[in-house]
Structure 1
Amino acid sequence: MATPPDRGELWQLTEEATVGLGAPPPSDDGLPIVAQRGSRALWGSGFLVAPGWVLTCAHVLVDGPGRRARRAVRPDGTDVGVYVDGRVLRGRVAYSMPLPRAARSGPHGPDSATDLLVSEADMAAPATDRSGPDLALVALLDPMDRERCAWLTDRPPGEFGSGGIVGRFAHPSGVPGHSEPESLSCGYGGTTGTRIKFELRADMRPGTSGGPLVDLERGEIVGVVKARFREGGSGIAVAVSGLRALTAAAHLDGAPDLGPDPYEELMRRHDDWHWHRQHPEHGNGEPTWVDAQRALPRRRGSWGVLDRLEALHQLGAMPPPSTSATVRELAAEALDRTVAHSVAPVGWRDGLGMLHGFGGEGDLAVHLSYLVLVAKWISKHSAEPEAAARARELYESVMKRGHALDAKQRGQLGTLRPRPRAVLLEFDHAPSTPYFDEGEEEVQQYVWSLYKGYEDGRWELARTPPTDGQPFAQARESALDALVGVLEAADATRADDDPVPLEVALPGTEFAAAVAEWEIREDARPSAPHSPMGIDRPVMLRDIERRAQLVDAADVAEQWRARWRGLHRAERLRLLRPAGPPAPLRRAQLKSAPHDSVPVLCQRVTAGSGHVAVQRAVGLGYPVALWRADGHGDEDGCGDACDGFHEGVTTLLDRPGESVRTLPGRLWKLRSGASGTDWLRGLILFYDSPDHPLPTASARPFEPPP
């Protein structure tokens, strides 16, 4: 079929990157190859996304829930043929989401190309189900005559105007290995999660599944064709952002791999290839995707395709972010507002994609701000000299590009300060008084400090702390008075429904303090009413003694980080409870518990088995735990109140698919709006993140990378 006339260069690049998938070439290792029935038919399409890697739909190659079986054509079930440039190259299915079912016995592969058929109800159904995103990666085992690679979008799924789909099919001549592309124009029909609906003027042929969906207005691949509608005239693609679900767990044994973080490594190779193709010393003189993108209309002086090319190349060389939340937070800082997204970001590249279309006239400043924040985050969090040097290079290149900004934007970029990630209120023991009056009882004195914490790891002193210690009750009242203004200023930088979280760091002797129920003035006026802090924002407890413990106990620090990673990776959190008073959680039990475990206690934590259990858990590096401020003593045993408490906590924690990252926010929502939640009374959330350790004795002002 003739190529549609508009955007001819983009169509050509897309067609050249599209391959056919079918039976592998004859074996050269003595293993039997089963001939494909319907000899000239291919199973489906795919396209090259990095040197030696083809992206397609999983159902084209493997069977899965609710799908027609795509059975093995080799005994190991992994080898396929990649049809490109008039040849059939050997390929191996390396990653599949979902993984294939157990191989079935039988001599035959698929009969012919078969696309999935769906209905409008399928499009409206939730896009995240147990079957996975329906994506697979094929590793080429034979070299190509000429490398090529499609440009994958860094944007979350969204609307496009003019688009197209491409498939590759067996050539009518029947010459073995020969194939031809077929292209169809399409329009945008809607998005649900990682599913993109596209509208067609003509029905697509079976075998288009796995081919690319290209946005012709931006010059990038936005999806992988998945299915056609039974009614005709439209189809569904899996958004490129569905690749973010790719982990090492999707790897098939015996196939080439992309290391422990396959998604980020694939994107790094993709971006690196395009950068080198555009480089005068490395390119081959042929038109590139960047050339085609530069020919598209854009606003003069804005963030351009060459800016993006250079930024993605530099970001790919950086250490990865610690969590998805880091990427989201820095993107929100750059935009000065929270960004809604349907697919969580994984790497720095994804954060850059979250900015597209939001900056308006200031989009250059927005993108440069994000890159500065990334450079500063890396300079604070990476101990590797090479990473620090790369962060400096990124920072300096951004400052050079910032010459194009107007005077106000240049000033903002040069003094960029991210919005606070959290406010921290610390209480620590004051030095002992060298003397006191005869007959006077010595009372423990406390000093407090207030900090603003940022996603880049910096802590900034928010108020000058008092020099003299006070009894805890007096120190608390003094600190809460100072806290009002700090919270107001921090909240002003965030959306109304996204108040700054409050972290309260206490020594273990004060772990029975129900910090979320401390009452604070609602504004800075002396006559303002008071309300519990936990109604207005997420509030969590931290351990101030852990700061000193980590200096001398490297094993505890590693356990702290390992358990934090385990909690973030867990699909469902595991509750860890003592057998019952007076038996505390045993040390051996705590040390051997899986990393997705969260201690939950209804006992009093100031004495007895509850006190022992909490101090053991914190001392062994547990980052998250829940207990009651008004827990019962060992002599009382559990009653109806305990049953309600544990039932409520179980409901809070046992949320499949909910990350521990959302726990403080979910608890805040319950406190701020729910009725009939007596189990929340006195509930203390211990939430001590190793990604943001407490400030050292001197919290220095933030500086650009050295």
Structure 2
Amino acid sequence: MNSLEGTVRRSVVRICAPGGGKEPIGDRFWGSGFFIAPGLVLTCAHVVGVGGGDVLDGGTAIDITDWRERTTEGRVVLAMPRPQDPQRPPSPWPLPDLALVEVAGAEDAECLWLSDRSAVVPAPISLHGWSRELGELTLRFGTGIAAGGDGGSAMLLRGEIPVEGCSGGPVLDTGRGAVIGVSKGRGRDTAGLAVPITALRRLANDLPGRARLHALVRAHDRHHLLRYRAFGTTATWTGLQRGLRPQGRGLTPVLRTQLFAQLAELPPPETPGEVMALVDEVKSRVIQDPYQPGVEHDPRSWREGVGLLYDLRDGAGGKEDGGTARDLEVEAVLLYAAHVAAAVSALGRAEDERALRDLGGWLTLNAEALELPDVIRHDIRRILYGGSAGFPQVPETAPVRDGAVVLTPRKTPPLKPEQRPVRARADVIVEIDQLLYGDRYPWRVKLLREDDLVTPLCEDELGAQRQELAQVLREPIADALRKGDVGEHLAALQLIVPRELFDEPLDDWRLAPPGAGAGSIDPRSLPLGRRRVVYLRDRRRRDEPAIPEWISRWKGAERGGLTAVPLRREVPVQGHGRGRRESPDAAYARLSEVPDTAVPVYCGPVASGEGAQAMEAALAAGHAVVIWRRCASEHSDCADFHQRVGELLHSVGRAGELHRTIRSLRRRCADPEADQEVLWARSIAVLFDSPERPPLPDVLRAPGGSR
């Protein structure tokens, strides 16, 4: 048995029904699991789901037997997803099919090392778990490759896949020495299915889950640092990983073990966008060439940001260049950690001060000891201590062991990081196409970065029916917004939809299912338009270059001095149902003559009928901002609505300030006892359609043609 197999063996457990842990040939064996933190076992939900609702709810204890045949009591603390009827377990169990089990008296258990990055496939793997195929329960293992996946929910395996009973056991990347998945089941022949370890991220989709995931990561990383301090590189995951990689430069396992334990002492990021904003900034700084990310990641811990900084430029950081090669990996990781410290310091929490001092001192000492370039060392110090009177003093020779500084107690100044502008990392774009397949609308969700880089996240070209759109898009939008939010800076939502959907209450869509947060004000379950900036945009305009009128009117709206003009001439002069109707051609002529700062206003729906004809005329005339209300046309307060909108436009001045006021009106209108001063704004809708973000396609021209 090699050292890798032996190390894994000491962490893998078998899971049995109560009283079945000491029966090596009994029928009460359910499956396998493994320790990921002291006293905490990870397995598949379908393994513990055999015990029904009492087990899944933690009311009934189960038997956990380790490699020494020591059986202790375990209780399920989480199952994802929990079935609607636990007494009738689903088959197959839906993904992610993960469960956490607290094990009493197992605080001294050895834990596997969890990968800090998404699986890089194909990857050589080994699978481990208990099986009774030969009659007696024995620990089995097999080898193969992680051949692919579906974007984060499942991992496809090929090779010597273990037999039944190994479900819940670890899938180990043998090239990197890290657990990348949990065995879920066996398919035909040599095929298998696993759940990526990154599926644990789903814990962080709500506040209690984020705290649980952070506690798990903290316990895991503390455990591995303590073991390294006690045993060095002998019989520890740090030592095992050190033996798997070529000696030399780069982020060594010792550096990583120390850094992860430091990061684990900090409060976790609120959203993936916080982590990715720092990763993006560091990559742009270190690589310097325009950074074009290939895949949008979903990190939920600071350590995962480190995992995204490996192998920059496909390993160029380790190549020699005339004897002056730069260690891009280490530069990037230490810069990233400095930015993390600065971001946490900005929260101003007294309880974080000690952890920040320790991290700041560790970074400063390592930047010196590892002889990073002067510009990087200066960057790290500026990020950490930019606001202080001076930098911490560093000894000429810092103690080094196994490629990392041993941080000795010393007086270091508190972090006073430089003040830097923080904003949302990206807007979220939701594109809904015209009907293509009967009554179904194809859709796509994307991120729009400040540099106009668009990253596709998910799509459905077959689409959804109109009444299904809010439900179908709920989780894709929530996932995208998490990747765009940075702290209190929330990503805006751009809804690019066909004109027949203009009157849909899109700003009333929620990220939580119906009934969630009932009876309380939960920001995560509020209608989107009450919490965020929501832009409604015209889908038909996006496929062609912008007409000059549109560009001119958008610039006018941005410049300011907004005024109101009726979308239809007879409203509000005579109101709906009276007088002679304005033809579409007449509306186009009139709306083409108004100033660029004029905003068409209408007190009725615009997705059909005369309102739709007038809206088409306004868009043809280039108008980028239009205001209306979605309610039916049978009302008598048209003049009041137009007057109120005119006053609103005059007060905000320019288009950039419009949505803040609209959002405030929506919040006030939500009150069942809202005062009469805001009732006019109920069901208000705004078209806010920029021709600049994202840029529209250029006009194709013949070679050599003049522009």
| TM-score between the two structures when normalised by the length of structure 2 | 0.54
AA paired with 1:60? V
User: 1:43 maps to which residue?
Assistant: 30
Q: Deviations over 1:182-207 (max 9, x none)?
A: 1111123112222222211x342101
AA paired with 1:324? P
Q: CA deviation at 1:165?
A: 0.3
User: 2:79 maps to which residue?
Assistant: 96
How do 1:598-677 residues align onto structure 2 when only pairs under 5 Å count? Answer: 598=527, 622-624=531-533, 638-641=603-606
Distance 2:450 2:508 in 1: 38
User: 1:357 maps to which residue?
Assistant: 311
User: 2:151 maps to which residue?
Assistant: 193
Distance 2:364 2:12 in 1: 39
Q: CA deviation at 1:220?
A: 0.7
Q: Structure 1 pair 81/395, CA: closer, same or farther in 2 (3 Å)?
A: same
User: 2:40 maps to which residue?
Assistant: 53
Unaligned runs of 5+ in 1: 28-34, 64-68, 118-129, 251-257, 418-454, 461-490, 499-537, 539-559, 578-589, 601-616, 648-674, 690-706
Q: Structure 1 pair 88/677, CA: closer, same or farther in 2 (3 Å)?
A: farther
AA paired with 2:140? E
Task: Name the SS of the counterpart of 2:312 in structure 1.
Answer: coil
Distance 1:323 1:275 in 2: 26
AA paired with 1:12? G
Q: Deviations over 1:522-564 (max 9, x none)?
A: xxxxxxxxxxxxxxxx9xxxxxxxxxxxxxxxxxxxxx97x97
User: 2:7 maps to which residue?
Assistant: 13
Distance 2:218 2:340 in 1: 16
User: 2:355 maps to which residue?
Assistant: 390
Q: Structure 1 pair 383/646, CA: closer, same or farther in 2 (3 Å)?
A: farther
User: 2:241 maps to which residue?
Assistant: 293
User: 1:315 maps to which residue?
Assistant: 263
Of residues 186, 189, 207 in structure 1, which corresponds to 2:165?
Answer: 207
Q: CA deviation at 1:678?
A: 9.0
Of residues 302, 308, 333 in structure 2, which corresponds to 1:348?
Answer: 302
Of residues 381, 390, 406 in structure 1, which corresponds to 2:373?
Answer: 406
Task: Name the SS of the counterpart of 1:292 in structure 2.
Answer: helix
Aligned partners of 2:114 and 2:179 also within 8 Å = yes
Q: CA deviation at 1:395?
A: 2.6
Task: Name the SS of the counterpart of 2:659 in structure 1.
Answer: strand
Q: CA deviation at 1:259?
A: 7.4
Matched, 1:217 2:180: no
Task: Name the SS of the counterpart of 1:62 in structure 2.
Answer: helix
How do 1:523-672 residues align onto structure 2 when only pairs under 5 Å count? Answer: 575-576=507-508, 596-598=525-527, 622-624=531-533, 638-641=603-606
Distance 1:183 1:56 in 2: 16
How do 1:132-531 residues align onto structure 2 when only pairs under 5 Å count? Answer: 132-143=95-106, 146-169=108-131, 179-194=137-152, 195-200=154-159, 202-230=160-188, 232-247=189-204, 261-280=211-230, 283=231, 287-336=235-284, 337=291, 339-341=293-295, 343-358=297-312, 360=315, 361=317, 362-380=328-346, 382-403=347-368, 404=370, 405-407=372-374, 409-411=376-378, 413-414=380-381, 458-459=420-421, 497=454
Task: Name the SS of the counterpart of 2:363 in structure 1.
Answer: helix
User: 1:663 maps to which residue?
Assistant: none
AA paired with 1:149? C
Distance 1:56 1:597 in 2: 35
Aligned partners of 2:129 and 2:170 also within 8 Å = yes
Q: How many aligned residue pairs are there?
A: 445
Distance 1:393 1:645 in 2: 67
Q: CA deviation at 1:593?
A: 9.1
Distance 1:235 1:167 in 2: 14
Q: Deviations over 1:121-146 (max 9, x none)?
A: xxxxxxxxx944111101113447x5
Q: Deviations over 1:206-259 (max 9, x none)?
A: 0111100011111111110112122x1121211111001015979xxxxxxx87
AA paired with 2:191? S
Higher relative contact order (CA 8 A, sep 6+): 1
Of residues 686, 690, 695 in structure 1, which corresponds to 2:659?
Answer: 686
Distance 1:36 1:242 in 2: 33
Q: Structure 1 pair 11/456, CA: closer, same or farther in 2 (3 Å)?
A: farther
Aligned partners of 1:18 and 1:47 also within 8 Å = yes
Q: CA deviation at 1:164?
A: 0.3
Percent identity, aligned pairs only, is 25
Matched, 1:79 2:61: yes
Task: Name the SS of the counterpart of 2:183 in structure 1.
Answer: strand
Distance 1:71 1:576 in 2: 36
Aligned partners of 1:277 and 1:288 also within 8 Å = yes
Q: CA deviation at 1:342?
A: 5.7
Distance 1:217 1:228 in 2: 23
Aligned partners of 1:161 and 1:217 also within 8 Å = yes
Q: CA deviation at 1:594?
A: 6.8
Q: CA deviation at 1:40?
A: 4.4
Q: Deviations over 1:308-344 (max 9, x none)?
A: 1111111111122232211110011111135444651
Task: Name the SS of the counterpart of 1:459 in structure 2.
Answer: coil
Q: CA deviation at 1:79?
A: 2.6
Task: Name the SS of the counterpart of 1:686 in structure 2.
Answer: helix
Q: Deviations over 1:81-123 (max 9, x none)?
A: 1121213221111101001333439xxxx9xxxx988xxxxxx
Q: CA deviation at 1:296?
A: 1.6
Distance 1:373 1:310 in 2: 17
AA paired with 2:366? R
AA paired with 1:234? A
Q: Deviations over 1:434-481 (max 9, x none)?
A: xxxxxxxxxxxxxxxxxxxxx997239xxxxxxxxxxxxxxxxxxxxx
Q: Structure 1 pair 406/229, CA: closer, same or farther in 2 (3 Å)?
A: same
Distance 1:207 1:349 in 2: 32
Aligned partners of 1:319 and 1:378 also within 8 Å = yes
Q: Deviations over 1:14-69 (max 9, x none)?
A: 12111111112289xxxxxxx99982462111100001110011111227xxxxx9
Q: CA deviation at 1:159?
A: 1.9
Distance 1:575 1:641 in 2: 16
User: 2:557 maps to which residue?
Assistant: none
